[in-house]
Amino acid sequence: MLVRPQRKHGPKAEMNVVPYIDVMLVLLVIFMVTAPMLTQGVKIELPKVASQALANDNPQQILTLSVQADGGYYWNLGGELDTQNRTDSAVALDEMREKVAAVVAARADTQVYIRADQDAGYGRVVAAMAALQQGGVTHLGLVTEAPQ
């Protein structure tokens, strides 16, 4: 005769969360150890070599646009970045856009660099960039000077 053992407790429908807590604690320790390593960098010394730039068979036309503090614009057109000379100038933003758009339309590979007076507002520079984009400029860069 087969006798079934009597159960004092019925089946439990609860989930055992102890292994999950252990896994979470291990993950917490791993993240606590690796997080400080992610923000640190490695300092390296790059080699210094004497080299020259490669000759470019198809030199780009470079337009250096200067934004003045009073809202005026002047630019230089040439084969290299030049912030001293002036090829043309404009008083208003619309006039500058039209003249620069004509230069860019004549030669599509024109690279435009913007430099702004230290006292020129951020809004003037952004307005100049937007006007250049409307004028068809696709290659745009910003020029800064090293602090002295």
Please compute the mean of the pLDDT values over residues 103-115 and round it to a whole number. 85
The pLDDT score that the predictor gives to residue 49 is: 64
Domains of the chain: 62-142 (3.30.420.270)
- Positions of E strands within 1-148: 62-67, 73-78, 88-90, 111-116, 140-142
The pLDDT score that the predictor gives to residue 55 is: 60
Please compute the mean of the pLDDT values over residues 9-30 and round it to a whole number. 85
Query: Which among 99, 81, 93, 92 is positioned nearest to 136, based on CA atoms?
Result: 99
Between residues 85 and 138, the one the model is more confident about: 138
Q: 54-87 pLDDT, tens per residue? A: 565 667 788 888 888 888 888 888 777 766 777 7
Q: Any residues with CB less than 8 A from the CB of 72 and at least 6 apart, and which?
A: 89, 90, 91
Phi, psi dihedrals of residue 131, rounded to the nearest 5°: -65, -40
In 10 A of CB 96, how many CB atoms?
A: 23
The pLDDT score that the predictor gives to residue 27 is: 94
Please compute the mean of the pLDDT values over residues 95-120 and round it to a whole number. 85
Between residues 29 and 86, the one the model is more confident about: 29
As a dihedral over the C-alpha atoms of residue 93, residue 94, residue 96, residue 102, rounded to 10 degrees, the angle is 160
